[in-house]
Structure 1
Amino acid sequence: MRSAAGENEAVISAVPGTGPDLRRLLWRRRLELWRRRARELARRFTLLAGALFCALLLVFGKLDIRAVRYVHERAGDIGALVMGVVRVPLALVASAGDAVGELLALRAENARLREENRQLLRWRHEAVRLAVENEALRRMLAMPLVEAVPRHTVARVVADSGSRFVHTRLVDAGEDRGVRVGMAVVDERGMVGRVIAVGRHSARVLLLVDLNSRIPVVVEPSGDRAILEGDNGPLPRLRFLPLDPRVAVGDRVVTSGADGLLPAGLPVGVITRVDESGMRVRPYVDWARLDYVTILDLPPVEPPAEDAQPAPPLAADLVAPGAAERRMR
C-alpha cells in the first residue's frame, strides 16, 4: 500500500499544477475507506458481543448463583415499580378514552332523543288539531237542522276579506262539491251567511254583519217578522218590524224562510238592545273562531203553477151565430 501511495505521490508530483488538489482528494478517499472498514468491524463486534451476552444470560439463568438470584429479584422489583408508575398514566389514559367514548355516545343519544322529542311534539300538535277539528265537526253535524237536511257540505274557512267595509269568508268548497249561489251557510252555533260567488274549488260567503246582507227573520216568541240588516258592525239591526212590535231584550231571532232560499228556523242571534235608535241583534257565531262551516243544500221553493185558463171558443162558433143550437137539435 505504501508503494502504491509512493507511486501516486510520484505521479502527482510529476503532473504540474495539480499536486495539492489531487492530494486532498486522495486523502478524502482514504478516510472514507477507513470509515467503512471501522463501521463494518463495529457491526461485527456488536453482533458478537450481543450473542455472547445472550449466551451468558442463558448460562447464568440456569445456574443457581446467589448474585444471579439477587439480580433477578432486583430486576423484578424494579420492573414492578416501573410498571406501577407507568400503569397510573395508562389507567388515566384508558379512563379518559372511556369517558370520551361515553360522551360521544351520550351526544349521539341526546341528538336522537331531541329528534324523537320534536317528532312527538309534531304528532301531539297534529293530534290536538285533529281532536279540535273532530269536535267542531261533531258539534256542527249534531245541529238538528243540519241533521234534517239530507244534503250538506262541510267546508273549511281558508281566507278572510281583511277589510273594514267588506265582511266575507272564502271556503274550500265550490262547484266540484255542488255549491251554488244563495245557499245558506251555518256553523255549530248558528247562521253565518249565504253564498254569493262560486268558483271551481272555492266559494265566497257573505256574512250576516256585512252592509249588503239582508235576511228575513222572525223574533221568538212573539212571532214578529223583520229583516236583519247588516251595517259592517258587530250588531246588525232589525228593520221593517210591525208598527207595534212585541220584542224585548233577550228574545231569540231565527230565519223565517220567507225569501224561499233560506230554511226557516236557523238560529241567528239574540236581541241585545231595544231603544229609539233601533233594535240590535248579537249573532250566535263567534267570528274570531270561525273555522269550519256547513253549506246547506236545500231544494229551491218553486212558486205554485198558475190556475188553468178556460179554452178559447172555436172560430166557427164565433162566426156563425146559432150554430150551437143547430148542433143541439
Structure 2
Amino acid sequence: MNILITGANGFLGKKLSVKLLEQGHNLYLLVRNRKRLDSFMAKEGDAYSSQIHILEGDVTEEHLGLNRQLVNSLKGKIDAVYHSAALLSFDEKDRDRTYKVNVGGTENVLNLALEISCQKVLYISTAYTVGKETVGAETLYSSDRCFVNPYEASKCEAEHLVYKFRNNLDIVILRPGIIIGDSRTGVADTNFGLYGFLKGIKILKKRAMRRQDAQSCTIFLDPEVAQNFVPVNYVIDVLDAALVHGKNGSIFNITNPNPPLQSEVYAIVKEVLDFPQLKMYPPSLNAEMTNEEKAFHDSMSIFHSYFQRTIDFPSDNTAKMLAAAGVPMLQMDREALKRIIAGYLLDKASITS
C-alpha cells in the first residue's frame, strides 16, 4: 500500500513507520521540516529509502501546506492515511494553538483525503477523551463533558469531526492509553508522561545523595490507583492491525486490561534506583514537604488528575480486531514494566541535575 503518515517524526510516528516499511509499504511522511527526519533516515530508514517519500508541510494549513502540483500527483495514489500529528500540551495558555493543530489540523487531513480520493483515514486519538469520568467505552463520547485539560477536549472534538466523515471515508478512531517504552527492549524516545515522573525521581535521589544523610524523600500518591500504561510495540501492533481489519466507524481503546498500580511503579523505581530513602504515602496524609519534595510535586501538577483516579477502559472491540488479525492482546507483567522503567532510569543520557 501507499500510506501517508502525519506526525511522522514523533515517538509513535517513527515506530509506526518502521513497522509498515518492514511489511513493504511505501510511505509518504509529512513533516514540517525535512531536516527533523535526518536522524531517522540515517538509522531506521536507511535500508528503506526507496520506500520513503518525505513531504514538507503543516497540518494547520490548507492541503497540509502542500503545493497544488504535489496534491495533484497524490490523487488516486494514497491508500490510507494515519493521522498522528498533534500538539500534546496540557497548558491552558496553549488552548488556541492546541485546537488549531488538533481540531483544525484534523479537518485539513480529512479534506485532503477526500480531495486525493484516499478511502481510509486512521485517526490516532487518546483514551483520555473520556475526560473526568472513571469508566470509558469504545464509542464516541459526548463533547459537553468535563475535561482535565485542553488537550483532552481538543481530541474529543476532533473525534466528532472524524466521525462525521464516515459516510464519505472509511474512518477508524484509535485511542492509546499512556504510551511507554518497548516491552521487549525497554527503549523509549519520549520524555512525557511516565518519563517526566521518572526524571523527577532521579533528581530527588541526586539531591538526597548530596545531603549525605538518612532523611527520607516522600512522594504523595494513592497506592491503589492504576495507571494505564501501554508499551509502544503493542500500540503499533494495534495500529497495524487496524489498517486491514479496522471497519468504518470503529473505535478502539488501545489500553492495558491489567494496568499497574502506582504502588507497583513505586516499588520498581525504588528497586531499580537503589533508593531506600524513597517513601510513598497517600495524598490524604497532608504532611509537610521539604523544598525538594514540593518542587517534585509542583513539576507533576499537570498530571495530578491522572494520579488520583483509576479509569476502566474496556477494549472488547480491540480484542475482536486483534483476534481477526492473529495478534495477542497485551499482557504486560512486572518484568516487562521493570525493563521499561530501568531502560530510562539506568540510561546515563537521561540524568539531569
TM-score, structure 1 as length reference: 0.22
- Greater C-alpha radius of gyration: 1
Q: Which has the higher strand share?
A: 1
> Higher relative CO (CA 8 A, sep ≥ 6), structure 1 or 2?
2
